[in-house]
Amino acid sequence: MYTNGVAATSVDKVLAACGAGKSQMYHYFKNKDQLVEAVIGRYLETILANQPAINDLHDWAAFDRWTEQLLDIQRGPQGPIACPLGNIAGELGDDPRVAGLLDKAYREWESHLARGLIALRDKGELAADADPARLAQTAMACLQGGLMLAHIRRDITPLADALAVAVGHLKSHAR
């Protein structure tokens, strides 16, 4: 589903790939939509597991370490890879049900950034009137766009620049 899209990935292909029978699929999932729902959940888990630095945003330098970790993932052998959630968003974002799930997933992702920003605010290193959730949302927008362009271009530069702009924007609220 990540590589070829959700619609182009039939249930039969999924089952063949994992060596399971059809009765298993329809025993554990009501239909393909519910499978996709589980896939979205798995995407978020994988994404967060791949960027552990997002859990240690205790100072401003940690944000730089986080972006460096993101860039390192994208420097892999197969070139820049797309964000799985972004892929789903493009294909199924008009479906209100899927949009809701994606919204939740992104908010969870952003909450890690917001947590770091709140810690900085509590330490007096972020302006008291700064809005951590909104700042995190803006950073996520830059990250997502950078990922998408980097994937399409097979070039990490758009992501690197977008992340630099995003973190620069966060730091512009530093105290």
Partner DNA sequence: TCAAAGCTGTACTAATCAGTACAACGACAC
Partner DNA sequence: GTGTCGTTGTACTGATTAGTACAGCTTTGA
- What are the residues binding DNA (CB under 7 A)? 9-13, 20-24, 26-28, 31-33
Residues facing residue 174 across a β-bridge: 126
Using rule CB under 8 A, residue 90 touches a second copy: yes
Among DNA, a second copy, none, residue 40 binds (CB under 5-8 Å by kind): none
Token pair listed for 128: 């008291």
Q: What are the backbone dihedrals phi and psi of residue 126, each rounded to the nearest 5 degrees, phi first?
A: -130, 140
User: For DNA, which is the closer residue by CB, 32 or 115?
Assistant: 32
Using rule CB under 8 A, residue 89 touches a second copy: yes
Binding mask 134-163 vs a second copy (x if CB under 8 A, - otherwise)? x--xx-xxxxxxxxxx-xxxx--xxx-xx-
| 2 neighbors 87 (Cβ within 8 angstroms) | yes
Using rule CB under 8 A, residue 127 touches a second copy: no
| 7 neighbors 91 (Cβ within 8 angstroms) | yes
Among DNA, a second copy, none, residue 50 binds (CB under 5-8 Å by kind): none
Using rule CB under 8 A, residue 74 touches a second copy: no
Using rule CB under 8 A, residue 87 touches a second copy: yes
| 147 neighbors 83 (Cβ within 8 angstroms) | yes
How far is Cα 95 from Cα 145, in angstroms, rounded to an integer? Answer: 21
